Amino acid sequence: MKTWKSKIAGVALASLFAVALSACGSSNSNSDASASPSAGASANPSESAANSDPVTLTMLVSGAKAAEGADFELDTLPKLVKEKFPNVTLEVQKLPDEQYYTSVKAKLAAGEGPDIFLVFPKLANMGAIEVAKAGYAADLSGMSFWNNISKAAASDMSFEGKPYAVAKGMDILGTYYNKELFAQAGIAELPKDWPSFLADAEKLKAAGVTPIVMGDKDPWVVQFGMYQLAANTVYPTDPEFDNKLQTGETALTDAKWVETVNQYKELYDKGYVAKGSLGMASAQAVQQFVDGKAAMIFTGTWDLPGLAAKGAVDFERGFFSLPGNKAGEPLYASASTAAGYALNAKSKHLDLGKQIFEYLYDGQSPLFQAWVDSNPSISVFNGVELKNEIFKDVLSDIQNTGNAFYFSNQMWPAGVSDVMQSKFAEIIGGKKTTAEDVTKAMQDKYQELNKG
């Protein structure tokens, strides 16, 4: 395997991708987290739970129920926890993303939070830094599995050197596409830059095919295209952009971010995105794609189960990075550590939660295997092979070039992306809002939230 280039200070994408693409099973002894077992995690996880009184643990996560088959979090996880810990009942609730953020924060602030909850990397909304500073998440430094997880994935879920959540893996933002519709429009090769992407979108439109479908009623989907473009427009010439943003050396109103917003705006201005997207929820957009009514949709690896579901027509899916780069310039992917599970620091059953984590992440248990089998994210555990071939080409490109940048919101205070989404929605809705208006609102919110 080639040596990877680190593209961002403080974000070791090399480590992240090296583990994701390897299947050697070797131990990663460079983890920031301690490898010594915690006081609450016995060598035999079932010992302290066995022969105990009945216990109910609660878990709150975001997302939609699996489109087909058993849902890991709602069905498989509670069942396998019960098999290993007969006295434990795990009650899981899954909420839509925006509802999740509101609900889990309110519950945690009131001291009534779930025993297990979903956390996102770094500074993202419900990010590891936020939940650690607030005292919501338990320090997981003592868990025994950290040596088997990528250093970068552990670091992205850490605050002041201590990990507070276990990432599901690595996620990639990309463009899912319908190979049959591409062929129907005469597109023989995937676009490698922004001009060729626009040309292909025009070919699809001319052939009577809706090029792109997006469920913009759910505002967060704006990020899915925007961050792919930013990976090619903002960061290649200034990998330290977000670090400089913190010190005021750069601003979200800088020309590169204005260009990024204008690129995304162009897709709506030219009618390449299905009309009425502000009235279409994300799940509806996915269904439109699955039913063969649009050629492309922007989202991440996490949405593969829904996008691979059987629809009104059968077709072969593909996946590529949205090429926001200029002709002749290299193409960059948008990839980051995925969300993961944390334990409530104030849980009455924290030790039991740690035992369940030890079992879940031990690398060999039936629960670990079920988690791997159901998890669309690219694994960052040593020895776990890539199982979804649809992502192979993008991963190979990143492996060969090292060209990848993280999702922008992971370095912004929670709230900046919300403003980006709401202001861009004004553009989608036909208002005279400009890219400069969007970036000014982003910068104003960043300064407001970044004080001190």
pLDDT at residue 16 in the model = 57
Dihedral-angle region of residue 212 (phi above 0 means left; psi in -120 to 50 means alpha; beta otherwise): beta
pLDDT at residue 372 in the model = 95
Residue recorded with tokens 């396998």: 80
pLDDT at residue 49 in the model = 55
Q: What is the DSSP string of 339-368?
A: PEEEEBTT-TTHHHHHHHHHHHTSSSSHHH
pLDDT at residue 191 in the model = 98
Q: How far apart are CA 446 and CA 58, in angstroms?
A: 34
pLDDT at residue 243 in the model = 94
One fold for both 55-168+338-381 and 173-336+391-450?
A: yes
pLDDT tens string, the chain, 452 residues long: the values are 222 223 333 334 544 555 454 433 333 333 334 333 333 344 444 445 545 789 999 999 998 888 778 999 999 999 999 999 999 999 999 998 879 999 999 999 999 999 999 999 998 889 999 999 999 999 999 999 999 999 999 999 999 999 999 999 999 999 999 999 999 999 999 999 999 999 999 999 999 999 999 999 999 999 999 999 999 999 999 999 999 999 999 999 999 999 999 999 999 999 999 999 999 999 999 999 999 999 999 999 999 999 999 999 999 999 999 999 999 999 999 999 999 999 999 999 999 999 999 999 999 999 999 999 999 999 999 999 998 999 999 999 998 999 999 999 999 988 999 999 999 999 999 999 999 999 999 999 999 998 75
Provide the whole-model pTM: 0.85
Going 63 to 69 to 74 to 80, the CA torsion angle's sign is negative
Q: Is residue 151 within a helix (H) or strand (E), and if so which, with residue range?
A: helix 151-156
Considering only CA atoms, give the Rg of the chain.
22
Q: How far apart are CA 117 and CA 343, in angstroms?
A: 7
pLDDT at residue 13 in the model = 54
CB atoms under 10 Å from CB of 440, counted, come to 17
Domain 173-336+391-450 architecture: 3-Layer(aba) Sandwich (3.40)
CB 106 within 8 A of CB 99: no
Q: How far apart are CA 387 and CA 370, in angstroms?
A: 13
Domain ranges (residues) in the chain: 55-168+338-381, 173-336+391-450
CATH 3.40.190.10 fits 55-168+338-381, yes or no: yes
pLDDT at residue 123 in the model = 86
pLDDT at residue 326 in the model = 98
Residue recorded with tokens 């490898």: 35
CB atoms under 10 Å from CB of 24, counted, come to 10
Q: What is the DSSP string of 204-261?
A: HHHTT---B---TTSGGGHHHHHHHHHHHHTSTT-TTHHHHHHHTSS-TTSHHHHHHH
